[in-house]
Amino acid sequence: MCHERVGMFLSFVLNNWGYLALLIIAAILIYASVVIVGGNEIALIERRWFGSKMPRACCGTCNEVGIQARTLGPGLHFLIPFIYKATKSVFIEILETRLA
């Protein structure tokens, strides 16, 4: 009985190996493209490929390769994994103090 189930499973895998490979690749791409930023974090975005060279500035605009001028706040974000890289850092809030 157990050997029959193993045989059925192996025949299913051999008959549908192409679909299973596509499913695995899609799962890896989705996992790599999701960025979850916590409530006390902020994420800096770096563009790796497919853009013009950044001039001598500290951060790039929308189509320049390098650290981008925009950041990601808390929440769930989707980025193209081969073009963008997100680096998360703890967000420190400096409160205003009263002088009296």
pLDDT digits (tens, 9 = 90+) for 56-77: 656 656 667 777 778 888 999 9
pLDDT (mean) for 31-50: 88
Angstrom distance (rounded) from CA 29 to CA 37: 18
Query: Residue 41: beta bridge partners?
Result: 90
60 vs 86: which has the higher pLDDT: 86
pLDDT at 55: 61
Does position 14 have pLDDT exceeding 80, yes or no? yes
Question: Where do the domains of the chain lie?
Answer: 2-90
Q: Could you tell me if 60 and 69 are in contact, meaning their C-beta atoms sit under 8 angstroms apart?
A: yes
Neighbours of 65 (CB within 10 A): 16
pTM above 0.85, yes or no: no
